[in-house]
Structure 1
């Protein structure tokens, strides 16, 4: 896994722990330029600037 993806995962994990709801978490991620998209294969982190998928959201953050 690349360092960039690890950095993204660290950000989304940290922000998930600080947010009190899924909605707040997604709002906080938008401030970093990331979004969460629901797909048939699960949730994925996307770049809002490029509208491109980056990596899957770890299962422990989806609960």
Structure 2
């Protein structure tokens, strides 16, 4: 995600990049995104770094990627 900071990454793209063609379950992606958020967000209820684009995918804010 940091390589594509600021861009919306569709669910299918993220799933393919991480798990390849072996899964198409969006639930797996959602669970993993929740775990990542718990680790990097100061307050997981108030998202600052990884934003959800409803019905499309996720977007990492550009400011975070500059610090990685």
Q: Hey, which of these two has a bigger chunk of helix by percent?
A: 2
TM-score of the aligned structures, taking structure 2 as reference length: 0.33
Give the number of the structure with larger relative contact order, counting CA–CA contacts within 8 Å between residues 6 or more apart. 2
More strand by share: 1
Structure label with greater radius of gyration: 2
TM-score by length of 1: 0.35
